[in-house]
C-alpha cells in the first residue's frame, strides 16, 4: 500500500502527540522550609526533632524542613518578625516570648492560674473556641496559626529555698513577659536573657532562679545542676505553645502536605503531653538534685486571688482579651462544678 503525504502527516502528528503525553514529567524541586524553635538542642530532642524527622520521611522528597534551635537564626524575641517577613518560614514557640503583635499574645506561655492540667489546653482550643480566635488574630498579621499544644507547667527552680511568699521578694527570676508582669506583684524581679545564657547566669549569681518550666525541663536542659530547690506550687499547670508559619509560605504548600504538617505537629503536642506528665511526677519522686519546697495552701490562696484581679485587668484592655478571659472563666467554672478529677484535687 502506498502511504500518501496526507496520511503520513496525520499519523506522524498523532504519534508525536502520543509521545508527548507519554513522556514522564520533570521532577519538581522539593519545597524547603526553615523552622526555628524556642528550645535549645537538649530539649529539642524531645519537643520538636522527632516530629520534623517524621515529616521529612513521610514527605518523601516533596518537602523538607530544616530545623534550627533557640537563637540559631534569630533571637527568640525576634522570631515573630522574622517569620512574618519570611526570613524564616515557620516557628515553634509561645506567643508571649516571641512578642507577637496580637491581642492574644498575653495568653501564650503561662497565663497565671488559668490552667491546672495539661488536658486543659487542647480542651480549650478544640472545644471552647480558642483555636478560631487564634487563627483569626494571626491571619490579621500575615501568619498562619497551625495548632496549639499543652506543654509543661511553670514552677520555680531556685538557688535558695522558697517556703513563703516573703521568700519571693527581690528574687531575680528568668521568666516569661506575662508571668513576670504578674509575679512582680509579689516582689519578684523579672529578668530577660537569651535562653542559652540562663545556666551561666545562675552560676554567676546574675539570676536567683527561674520560673520557665516544670521539673522535667529543669533536669533535661541542665538547670537542675545549677539550682538547689524546686517549688511545687506552680503559677500555671500547663504552657500554651504553638506552631506557626508565614501565611504566604503556608499557602504555597499543597493541601496534602499541609495536612501532613498538621498531623506531625499534633504528634509533637501529644508526645509532650505524656512526656511532661510522667516526668513531672517521676523526677519529684526518684531524683534528688532538686529539693522540694511548698508554700502552704492558705498562703498560696493570695496568689490565686491576685490572679483573678490580673485576669480582670487584662480583660479591660481590649474586646478580644475580654472574650478570651471570659472563656477561661467559663471553662474553669465548669471544671470546678464537675469536681474530681477535674478540680478540687
- Would you say residue 14 lies in a domain? no
Residue 35: name the closest of 59, 65, 71, 61 by CA.
65
Q: 196 and 50, same structural domain?
A: no
- Would you say residue 19 lies in a domain? no
Count of C-beta atoms within a 10 Å radius of residue 231: 22
3-state secondary structure of 20: helix
- Would you say residue 49 lies in a domain? yes
Q: 304 and 198, same structural domain?
A: yes
- Would you say residue 109 lies in a domain? no
CA distance linking residue 180 with residue 190, whole number of Å: 5
Q: 195 and 248, same structural domain?
A: no
Count of C-beta atoms within a 10 Å radius of residue 266: 16
User: Could you tell me if 198 and 210 are in contact, meaning their C-beta atoms sit under 8 angstroms apart?
Assistant: yes
**Backbone angle region of 142, left / alpha / beta, with phi > 0 → left and psi within -120 to 50 → alpha:** left
Q: 250 and 172, same structural domain?
A: no
Query: Can you tell me which residue has the cell 482550643?
Result: 125
DSSP letter string over 245-276? EEHHHHHHS-HHHHHHHHHHHHHHHHHHHHHH
CA distance linking residue 210 with residue 277, whole number of Å: 20
- Would you say residue 191 lies in a domain? yes
Q: 217 and 201, same structural domain?
A: yes
Q: 315 and 299, same structural domain?
A: yes
- Would you say residue 9 lies in a domain? no
What are the angstrom distances between the C-alpha of 232 and each of 153, 155, 236, 299, 319? Answer: 10, 7, 11, 14, 35
- Would you say residue 344 lies in a domain? no
Q: In sequence order, which residues have a C-beta less than 8 Å from that of residue 166 and are 6 or more positions away?
A: none
- Would you say residue 5 lies in a domain? no
Residue 180: name the closest of 213, 212, 228 by CA.
212
Q: 314 and 270, same structural domain?
A: no
Residue ranges in the chain assigned as alpha helix (H): 5-22, 41-47, 49-59, 79-85, 120-127, 130-139, 177-183, 198-204, 215-221, 247-252, 255-286, 297-315, 319-338
- pLDDT, position 256: 98
- pLDDT, position 27: 52
Residue 94: name the closest of 132, 38, 44, 133 by CA.
38
Q: 244 and 95, same structural domain?
A: yes
User: Could you tell me if 76 and 194 are in contact, meaning their C-beta atoms sit under 8 angstroms apart?
Assistant: yes
For 262, the grid coordinates are: 498538621
Per-residue pLDDT of the chain (345 residues; tens, 9 = 90+): 444 434 434 444 444 444 444 444 445 789 999 999 999 999 999 999 999 999 999 999 999 999 999 999 999 999 999 999 999 999 999 999 999 999 999 999 999 999 999 999 999 999 999 999 999 999 999 999 999 999 899 999 999 999 999 999 999 999 999 999 999 999 999 998 988 899 999 999 999 999 999 999 999 999 999 999 999 999 999 999 999 999 999 999 999 999 999 999 999 999 999 999 999 999 999 999 999 999 999 999 999 999 999 999 999 999 999 999 999 999 999 999 999 999 986
Strand partners, 144: 245
3-state secondary structure of 171: coil
Our CA angle for 55, 109, 300, nearest 5°, is 140
Residue 155: name the closest of 91, 242, 219 by CA.
219
Half-sphere exposure of 265 (CA within 13 A, CB side): 23
Q: 247 and 228, same structural domain?
A: no
Instruction: State the first-to-last Cα distance of the chain, in angstroms, to the nearest integer.
Output: 96
Domain count of the fold of the chain: 2
Q: What is the CATH number of the domain that holds 203?
A: 3.40.190.170
Q: What is the pairing mode between strands 240-246 and 90-93?
A: antiparallel
Q: 78 and 142, same structural domain?
A: yes
Q: 184 and 174, same structural domain?
A: yes
- pLDDT, position 29: 85
If you ran DSSP here, which 8-state letter would residue 109 be given?
B
Domain that holds residue 218: 154-238+288-338
Q: 41 and 187, same structural domain?
A: no
Our CA angle for 67, 277, 210, nearest 5°, is 70
- For 9, counting Cβ atoms within 10 Å of its Cβ (0-12 exposed, 13-18 middle, 19+ buried), the class is exposed
Amino acid at each position: 500500500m502506498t502511504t500518501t503525504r496526507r496520511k503520513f502527516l496525520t499519523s506522524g502528528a498523532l504519534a508525536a502527540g502520543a509521545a508527548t503525553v507519554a513522556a514522564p514529567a520533570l521532577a519538581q524541586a522539593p519545597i524547603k522550609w526553615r523552622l526555628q524553635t524556642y528550645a535549645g538542642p537538649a530539649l529539642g530532642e524531645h519537643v520538636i526533632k522527632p516530629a520534623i524527622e517524621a515529616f521529612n520521611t513521610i514527605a518523601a522528597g516533596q518537602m523538607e524542613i530544616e530545623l534550627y534551635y533557640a537563637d540559631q537564626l534569630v533571637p527568640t524575641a525576634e522570631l515573630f518578625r522574622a517569620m512574618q517577613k519570611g526570613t524564616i518560614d515557620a516557628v515553634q514557640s509561645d506567643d508571649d516570648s516571641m512578642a507577637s503583635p496580637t491581642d492574644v499574645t498575653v495568653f501564650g506561655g503561662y497565663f497565671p492560674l488559668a490552667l491546672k492540667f495539661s488536658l486543659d489546653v487542647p480542651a480549650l482550643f478544640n472545644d471552647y473556641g480558642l483555636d478560631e480566635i487564634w487563627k483569626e488574630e494571626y491571619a490579621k498579621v500575615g501568619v498562619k496559626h497551625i495548632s496549639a499544644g499543652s506543654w509543661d507547667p511553670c514552677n520555680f527552680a531556685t538557688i535558695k529555698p522558697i517556703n513563703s511568699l516573703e521568700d519571693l521578694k527581690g528574687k531575680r527570676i528568668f521568666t516569661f513577659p506575662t508571668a513576670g508582669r504578674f509575679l512582680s506583684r509579689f516582689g519578684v524581679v523579672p529578668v530577660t536573657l537569651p535562653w542559652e545564657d540562663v545556666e551561666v547566669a545562675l552560676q554567676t549569681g546574675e539570676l536567683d532562679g527561674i520560673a520557665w518550666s516544670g521539673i522535667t525541663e529543669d533536669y533535661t536542659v541542665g538547670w537542675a545542676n545549677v539550682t538547689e530547690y524546686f517549688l511545687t506550687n506552680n503559677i500555671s499547670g500547663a504552657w500554651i505553645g504553638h506552631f506557626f508559619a508565614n501565611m504566604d509560605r503556608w499557602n504555597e504548600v499543597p493541601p496534602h502536605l499541609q495536612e501532613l504538617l498538621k498531623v506531625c505537629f499534633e504528634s509533637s503536642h501529644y508526645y509532650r503531653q505524656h512526656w511532661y506528665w510522667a516526668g513531672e511526677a517521676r523526677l519529684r519522686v526518684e531524683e534528688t538534685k532538686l529539693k522540694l519546697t511548698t508554700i502552704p495552701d492558705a498562703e498560696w490562696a493570695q496568689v490565686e486571688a491576685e490572679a483573678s484581679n490580673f485576669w480582670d485587668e487584662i480583660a479591660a484592655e481590649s474586646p478580644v482579651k475580654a472574650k478570651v478571659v471570659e472563656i477561661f472563666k467559663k471553662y474553669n467554672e465548669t471544671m470546678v462544678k464537675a469536681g474530681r478529677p477535674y478540680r478540687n484535687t
